Amino acid sequence: MSGKPFCLPAAFGSLQEWLLILQSTSWNRSNLPSQQLPAVRWKSYLSLFSHFVCRLVVEELSVSVFPFCLPPGGLDFPLAQKVYAAAEAEDRAGKDLLVWMDSDTMVLDQPDAFQLPESVSLGCCPVHLKNISSLFSQPLDDFWREVFGGCGVSLDRLFPVVSTMDAQEIYAHFNAGLLVVRPKAGILRTWRENFERLYLDRRFAPLYAERKARQFFLSQAVLAATIVQMFAREKIQLFSPRYNHPIMLVERYPVSITDPITCRYDAYSVLERCTCLRLKPGVTRWLHNSDHSMEG
């Protein structure tokens, strides 16, 4: 994995998330044995100025930080920053593969599936929950017709996936928090182009009024349409549920996952009270030694 760049949107997430994802990614890329896993000491870091601390950690782990530009209104539209940050990362990648992860990610084991076969153009996961998705057993709703149509997707290209936590068969809809892409294909830059064309389109206003979550998740819907527009189903590898496992949803949807490889936690407070992870002893020791307490 040493030649594969890992990217995350620095505009999102707390200091704790930054440190945790950088450290967990670092030890997995280096294949360190469990007894050598580096510990993050939150109490000492939190007593310092966050930007200074982030700079120290970034330098220690040889992480590059790049700026990106947003269009007018981009700061006000939900999750627009993620779209533009992802496209910027793809622009700068210059590698055969790029791993794009949300900042609330922990890498708990070597993510071997990120090494995509040559015949595959994209690795990703279905969405966690049906939420705004459209059931495959029913006709597309008006929102999804506008999204797919706005991205130039012929409806005969659509295929089903199953949401990972509530097990609903839905039209192709993928989680934007974990993507392994081939930068030369330009999937993330095309995502930006499609999003830029649609996010202020007035035709969506009444659809947002019907259901506010549609506006919040528009970027992820546009990602799904972009993927279907660009790649046939056989070019897409869906990762197993051990990847991108949402521990913040386990109490509501008790899906049993043994030894997750990457997980998502949404808010740092979820980690502090989480008892649902069944981890290898070395990973458990690393998390315990990291002293995640926010007190002091």
Angle at 263 between CA 23 and CA 241, to 5 degrees: 140
Nearest to 152 by CA among 226, 234, 231: 226
The answer to whether residue 296 sits within a structural domain is no
The answer to whether residue 269 sits within a structural domain is yes
* Token pair of 171 as six digits: 């039209």
Angle at 254 between CA 249 and CA 257, to 5 degrees: 95
CATH number at residue 166: 3.90.550
The answer to whether residue 182 sits within a structural domain is yes
The answer to whether residue 294 sits within a structural domain is no
Residue range of the domain that includes 111: 6-289
**Which residues 6+ apart lie within 8 Å of 164 measured at CB?**
125, 126, 127, 128, 241, 244, 245, 246, 255
The answer to whether residue 181 sits within a structural domain is yes
pLDDT tens for the chain, 296 residues: list them. 445 566 655 444 555 565 666 666 655 544 433 333 333 333 333 333 445 555 655 666 666 777 788 887 788 899 999 999 999 999 988 778 999 999 888 888 889 999 999 999 999 999 999 999 999 999 999 999 999 999 999 999 999 999 999 999 999 999 999 999 999 999 999 999 999 999 999 999 999 999 999 999 999 999 999 999 999 999 999 999 999 999 889 888 877 776 889 989 887 677 666 666 666 666 666 665 654 433 32
The answer to whether residue 187 sits within a structural domain is yes
Cα separation, 265 vs 103, in Å, equals: 10
The answer to whether residue 41 sits within a structural domain is yes
Rounded alpha-carbon distances, angstroms, from residue 25 to 20, 177, 183, 268 = 8, 15, 20, 17
Cα separation, 40 vs 172, in Å, equals: 38
SS3 label, residue 86? helix
Q: How many domains does the chain have?
A: 1
Angle at 273 between CA 244 and CA 291, to 5 degrees: 90
Global pTM reads: 0.82
